[in-house]
Structure 1
Amino acid sequence: MKRVVLGILLVLALGALAMLPGRLERAVQQGIEDKGLPISYGDLQIRLFQRQIQVQGLQSSQTVPTKAARLQFKTSIDTLLLEGIQWWPLFRNKQLKANTLRIAAPQVQVRLDTAQWIDSLPQSGTKLDLELIVHEIDLARGFLAWEQTGPIDRHFQIEDIAAQLHPAPIRPGEAILPALLDAYEVELRCITTTDSNALHRAHIGQMLARSTDSSLQVLDLEVYPQFTPAAFNQRLYYKRDQLNVSVAKLAASGLDFDRLLEQQLDCRHLLIQDIRINDLADRNLPHNPRRRHPLPQPYLLDLPMALTIDSVAIRNGQIRYAEIPPGRKLPGYVDFTDLQADLYKISNDSLFWTQHDQLSARINCKLYGQAALYVNFQFPMQARPWTYHYQGYLHAFDMPNANVIMEQAADMRVLTGQVKSLSFQATANEQLAWGPLEFYYENLDVAFLKEKNGFVKNVVSDLVEWWAFPQENLKHKKHRIGNMHKQYDSSRSFFYQLWQTVLSGIQSVILPNIILPHPLKHEKVEGE
């Protein structure tokens, strides 16, 4: 009799187990319908004894209105596989425990239409009625595309996403995203986007992030204009620089990933390897009088993203700044090659500056690939009003190499001349920059570029060539020590302020005091 009863119970148990997958599938479908979720799928398999749930052909489409725009989401997942499920906690405590969630070929497309908006917003946010505990999430062959349409069309796309995530538990009633990660390893490939005005396009070959060493690497970064120089300018009313930038490697170590998710950059060290910058400015376009360039300290403190970086190293950099002067078609340029730079204590955290006093930078490079140039900066972050200091030293240099900028920017050509050395020490604030400059040179011969039918100008140029520029200024002879003095122009860039300040000191040395304003008059001293 007992055997019969046990047999009946066994049959009933097996029958219940056989019907359980179907009941679970209906429960899943009912939950989707009850919540009104825009989700569909092709096939759902519940493997009770293998402790697996597999969903294939998962698709979702949803439109979310906001005050600024209308968002359209389209999502598809080729295969979603949940492995190592513990069934008993699921039925008893609404607690879904699993070892691994595998997501194959997920594709997410987001379209933002800024031409559509509404005054009131519905409550949004997908929340779970159960606690989700998954030890590992494996994601492979992912794709993400974001597109904005409206007055300015923009886009962001990642062609290949692979990730291994170890998420923290998601409690009942909590929003699914963003979930905190206990550990992670993420690899993104072929990332493309545009800037806010859709003038430049950016491309990243590969991005790697790992929690094991708190690192983030960006490989093969490129930024370039989307249009030819002529077409670029036609889209502008005011002057805007055209940038071509490439970086072989950008690596952050000691990165706080949790703070990064909160839009705060906190890391110990940032390496920028093999950077190339080509900056072209066309001065034929009017300058935007409303655009302001604050000093580095307030600019840093006013950044929308909180950041603290202990040190930044730039290795093997090259920078070319090119400028088309008004009325000209061809640019002049200045080259800085073999650039190495180190920056220390970069932060806009007010608490950070209670323990440190200044941001500093050390830069060394070669001017036009020939002359060694060293510049140091100090930016005090506590003292008011804002003030900063910089010192520089330029080694021997053949001056005709600078004609590529002098002919276009100053209507003059250096025929001969050798710089023996140039050194300067400057202090700058929101009103002006000033300081001494020593410029030693020999065999200087300068010719002004003369215009046709400009007799008066030609005569003046001839007189200046003959009278204004002494052929030499050598330290061991009686020589001149110049003074830099330049009013601060907040509508101009930081680099422009530096260049104009140093140029004022060079003018102080080579021009006669009789035509110089009082702050620029040089001092004559005996040779050493």
Structure 2
Amino acid sequence: MKKTTKILLYIITGIILLALILFALNNFAEEKLKKEIEDAISQINLTYEELDINLLNRKATLKSPSLSMNGKSFKAEKLSLNNIGVFKYFTEKEIEIGSFRLDGPSFVYNKSKKSKTSPDSTSKGFKKSILIDKFQVRNGDLTIVENDSAENSLYAKFSHFKILEFQLDSSSVDNTIPFNYSDYALKVDSFFYKLDARHISTGNLNVEEDTLMLKDFRIIPVYGKQEFQKHIPYELDRYELVIEEVSFSNLNWMFKNDSLSIESPLTEIKNANLEVYRDKLQPDDTRQKKMYSEMIRELPVILKLDTIRLSDSYIKYEELIDADRSPGEVDFSKLNASIYNLSNKNMQAKDFKPTVVDVKTMFMQEANLNVNWEFNIRNKNDRFNISGNMDRISEEAMNRFMKPAMNVLAKGVIEDMAFNFSGNHTEALGDMKLVYKDFKVEVLREDGKRKNKVLSALANLIMNNDAISDDVRQKQIEVTRDKTRSFWNYLWKMIRAGALKSFF
């Protein structure tokens, strides 16, 4: 036999032996890894149909995994692991995975079956380090219920959830978010949450590259206007809110000292529609109400929203004062507003900026109304300044509220109005200009149809019916706040006090 032939045979034999050794080692490693995975699975009571491991391709697949314990249940079509770091696992017991993918998962949490075990037992003894380059969940849903017979209190259907550089180890497992990551993306197709007597829902919700966008956001009461009154102990607003689109640019959120922190330089709200109904026949809510500055100051969330833009929006407010009459109504259409420096972060800083609200809208669908409102969130006296101006409004528009709510008909027009008030959580002081022409009132009888001639004549006798010149401004208008009422009642008292001083 020639020498070259012998060498060739040796090489072939060596390759075959090496292949057999690798095959044996692969089978041994696969069996060892499979046993360790099966042992780990048995400890958490996870069931499955089939476990397939191929270390030559560095892949593992778990078919139909499912788990149920302490009110939490989970099932999925398939769990796939790709690019498993085999060498590092066997030498350092660290788990490195290039790609983790979960297809068709369904998560259910039943609150009535919450675990009674000690929370201290969950994270102790976690020694492993898990690093996943790309963690993906596709076409899943999440459900939270109060008990087996209750309707869903939360339901979310998502098509895609991705985390990059997912890392879980002994130093992260006790954190509020028990893992570290470099980036994430989320696409939710629908979301529903039941909060007391309201349903909160969204259509699409996307989070990607530090931008959050949600569409068709809704807060809808469970009960209609009349039924709602049977479920409240005192006078309370019933509101419906629908927003076409909300977006947060360069969103940054984190947990800091167990508090959630949310920051965004630009928040946009497009085509919001808010309808508020209040039944004044209900018992008064005598609890003290906070000013908005105090509410934001005391939020459990750290907030820093540099600019909020509200565009093409609408607000309607209805108030029922007499059961025999329709509710009075005011509305604000074509509403555009900018809010600057809405923040309770670093309130001790010397350069902490006041919050500024700039509003432009149509009042009662015919009068241009501009409002500028400024307050300092860190000021514990809740100091503020609010000013505004409105142009011509007709008697027809005024009577949409005055007739049903006050049983009064206005005659004539208001040509111009401007106001400027400064105050705190107790009292306000300011001035107001009201230009009107041939303004009279008709006080109606109880049926709301016929004129009460005696009261109407008396009211018009003491009313100044001449138009006020542009130079006349009612000054030193003092108003004391009713602390059981909202800020908007406070503002209404300022406007009303200035109007009465102008009319009489």
- Asked whether the two chains share a fold, i.e. TM above 0.5, the reply is yes
Which residue of the partner structure matches residue 388 of structure 1? 384
Contact 1:482 1:508 in 2 (8 A): no
- Relative to 1, partners in 2 of residues 1:338 and 1:173: Cα closer, same or farther, differing over 3 Å? closer
Which residue of the partner structure matches residue 3 of structure 2? none
Which residue of the partner structure matches residue 73 of structure 2? 74
Partner SS, residue 167 of structure 2: coil
1:409 aligns with 2:416: no
| Amino acid in the other structure paired with 1:398 | S
Q: Provide the C-alpha distance between the structure 2 equivalents of 1:51 and 1:118, rounded to a whole number of angstroms.
A: 39
After TM superposition, list the pairs within 5 Å mapping 1:439-450 onto structure 2.
439-450=434-445
Contact 1:485 1:505 in 2 (8 A): no
Which residue of the partner structure matches residue 218 of structure 2? 222
- Relative to 1, partners in 2 of residues 1:482 and 1:332: Cα closer, same or farther, differing over 3 Å? farther
Contact 2:213 2:248 in 1 (8 A): yes
- Relative to 1, partners in 2 of residues 1:384 and 1:108: Cα closer, same or farther, differing over 3 Å? closer
Q: Where do 5+ consecutive residues of structure 2 fail to align?
A: 1-5
Q: Provide the C-alpha distance between the structure 2 equivalents of 1:465 and 1:133, rounded to a whole number of angstroms.
A: 80
After TM superposition, list the pairs within 5 Å mapping 1:404-483 onto structure 2.
404-414=400-410, 416-451=411-446, 458=452, 460-475=454-469, 481=474
- Matching residue within 22, 34, 52 for 1:25: 34
- Relative to 1, partners in 2 of residues 1:406 and 1:270: Cα closer, same or farther, differing over 3 Å? same
Partner SS, residue 181 of structure 1: coil
Which residue of the partner structure matches residue 275 of structure 1? 272
Per-residue CA shift, 1:466-525, capped at 9, x if unaligned? Answer: 313332323169x673653322112111112112211111111112xxxxxxxxxxxxxx
Shift of 1:121: 5.6
Q: Where do 5+ consecutive residues of structure 1 fail to align?
A: 64-71, 512-528
Q: Provide the C-alpha distance between the structure 1 equivalents of 2:151 and 2:462, rounded to a whole number of angstroms.
A: 54
Shift of 1:225: 0.9
1:495 aligns with 2:488: yes
| Amino acid in the other structure paired with 1:374 | N
| Amino acid in the other structure paired with 2:57 | Q
Q: Provide the C-alpha distance between the structure 2 equivalents of 1:119 and 1:7, rounded to a whole number of angstroms.
A: 55
Contact 1:391 1:424 in 2 (8 A): yes
Q: Provide the C-alpha distance between the structure 2 equivalents of 1:322 and 1:255, rounded to a whole number of angstroms.
A: 36
1:11 aligns with 2:7: no
Contact 2:75 2:106 in 1 (8 A): yes
Contact 2:239 2:276 in 1 (8 A): yes
Partner SS, residue 462 of structure 1: helix
Q: Provide the C-alpha distance between the structure 1 equivalents of 2:306 and 2:349, rounded to a whole number of angstroms.
A: 12
The root-mean-square deviation of aligned C-alpha atoms, in Å, is: 2.9
Which residue of the partner structure matches residue 131 of structure 1? 129
Q: Provide the C-alpha distance between the structure 2 equivalents of 1:8 and 1:393, rounded to a whole number of angstroms.
A: 92
Shift of 1:55: 0.7
Shift of 1:148: 2.6
Shift of 1:452: 6.5
Partner SS, residue 250 of structure 1: strand
Partner SS, residue 434 of structure 2: strand
Which residue of the partner structure matches residue 357 of structure 2? 361
- Relative to 1, partners in 2 of residues 1:490 and 1:113: Cα closer, same or farther, differing over 3 Å? farther
| Amino acid in the other structure paired with 2:357 | A
Shift of 1:109: 0.7
After TM superposition, list the pairs within 5 Å mapping 1:130-169 onto structure 2.
130-149=128-147, 155-169=153-167
Q: Provide the C-alpha distance between the structure 1 equivalents of 2:63 and 2:283, rounded to a whole number of angstroms.
A: 58
Which residue of the partner structure matches residue 338 of structure 1? 334
Partner SS, residue 475 of structure 1: coil
Per-residue CA shift, 1:359-381, capped at 9, x if unaligned? Answer: 11111101011110011011134
| Amino acid in the other structure paired with 2:182 | D
What TM-score do you get using the length of structure 2 for normalisation? Answer: 0.89
Per-residue CA shift, 1:176-218, capped at 9, x if unaligned? Answer: 95322201221112101122xx21111100111113xx21111
Shift of 1:118: 6.3
Which residue of the partner structure matches residue 522 of structure 1? none
| Amino acid in the other structure paired with 1:431 | T
Q: Provide the C-alpha distance between the structure 2 equivalents of 1:154 and 1:239, rounded to a whole number of angstroms.
A: 29
Shift of 1:16: 3.3
Number of matched pairs: 490
Provide the identity percentage.
Answer: 16
| Amino acid in the other structure paired with 1:48 | L
| Amino acid in the other structure paired with 2:60 | I
Partner SS, residue 121 of structure 2: coil
| Amino acid in the other structure paired with 2:443 | F
- Relative to 1, partners in 2 of residues 1:303 and 1:174: Cα closer, same or farther, differing over 3 Å? closer
Q: Provide the C-alpha distance between the structure 1 equivalents of 2:278 and 2:76, rounded to a whole number of angstroms.
A: 46
Which residue of the partner structure matches residue 55 of structure 1? 62
- Relative to 1, partners in 2 of residues 1:353 and 1:144: Cα closer, same or farther, differing over 3 Å? same
Contact 2:432 2:473 in 1 (8 A): no
Per-residue CA shift, 1:98-154, capped at 9, x if unaligned? Answer: 21111111111111129x89696662248754321111122210101112359x987
- Relative to 1, partners in 2 of residues 1:29 and 1:491: Cα closer, same or farther, differing over 3 Å? same
Which residue of the partner structure matches residue 284 of structure 2? 287
Shift of 1:232: 1.4
Q: Provide the C-alpha distance between the structure 2 equivalents of 1:323 and 1:331, rounded to a whole number of angstroms.
A: 5
1:186 aligns with 2:182: no
